[in-house]
Amino acid sequence: MVIQAESQAHRHPIYWFDDGSVIVRAYNNHVDGQTSIMLFRIHASLLHRHSELVLKRESEDGCDVPTMTIPLAFGVQVQDFTSLLAHLYHDTPLSLEAPFQHVAAILRVSSPEQLNLPSVHSLARSYLVAMFPSGPSPFVHPNHLEEALSLALRYNITSVRKGIYYSLVTTTDFEPSSDVTDDENTTAVPSKTIALTPTDVARCRNLMHGIVEHFTPVLFEPPVTPHMTCTNVLADKWFPLVIQSAIAGDSVYKPLEALEKLKQIDWRAEGLCAACIREKREEWTNEQEEVWEKMDTWLASE
């Protein structure tokens, strides 16, 4: 690993305050193996108020304030440390509107293995959880699913894991890809920039298999009701209203969403009685809960 000479260190363009009480030296690892240096002049009390970590103060010739170096072994990236300062100085505080990458950066840098800011770390965890809701009701997740799953596993944020796996299976091509060259056209197909681990790919495959095996009969077989007339209506309407819609909308492997759509259909206008509508909607809600519960088993399968 090559570290630039100290003379090549740069002051941060924002977080260098003339009245700062300490200079923090942070290293940034680059993909080419180089490591650059960024200097921050900040107010020491701001870090000490939140962190249980004590960095060794160093004396610097010609400096009117002490210098502290974040050890390379901590793995702190300059971008992450900058995000932390943006939060602490209230330039970009953690909030429900904060971008995922901002929350992720602060979650990492405030963790016990890095700068160990327990209150900030707890706050970042809470906003990550808020970003990735879970079932059994349908939900929508932002992008960065692979990175979010990695963070959830790394920091043991169990409440969001199942929902992220579900989103990976139902909204992405989770299978690993590699660069493939077309011999005739010599066109390369780029691989994913962020890949799941082999273990997580296997879990997604198991989840996909479990969902399809369990939900296919539910989706493709019209349910019965206590009333023959209503049963006949469902049998007559099931293909155009349910099966065709599910196939067109790729809902075959999206049970939470497909079941929610079933509940939203105006079955009264289609000829079902009020009692049968209540019964079926309750059954479909119970089915959502059953799928969500069974996901624990499917994800645990080897």
55-101 pLDDT tens trace = 666 655 557 788 889 998 999 999 999 999 999 999 999 999 999 99
- Which residues contact residue 223 at a Cβ distance below 8 angstroms, ignoring those fewer than 6 apart? 234, 280, 283
Average pLDDT over every residue of 107-130: 96
CB 161 within 8 A of CB 192: no
Q: Name the more confident of 32 and 11.
A: 11
The candidate with the shortest Cα–Cα distance to 2, out of 33, 46, 30, 25, is 33
pTM, to two decimals: 0.86
226-285 pLDDT tens trace = 999 999 999 999 999 999 988 888 888 899 999 999 999 999 999 999 999 999 999 999
Give me the pLDDT at residue 118, please.
Answer: 94
Q: Name the more confident of 189 and 258.
A: 258
4: pLDDT strictly greater than 50? no
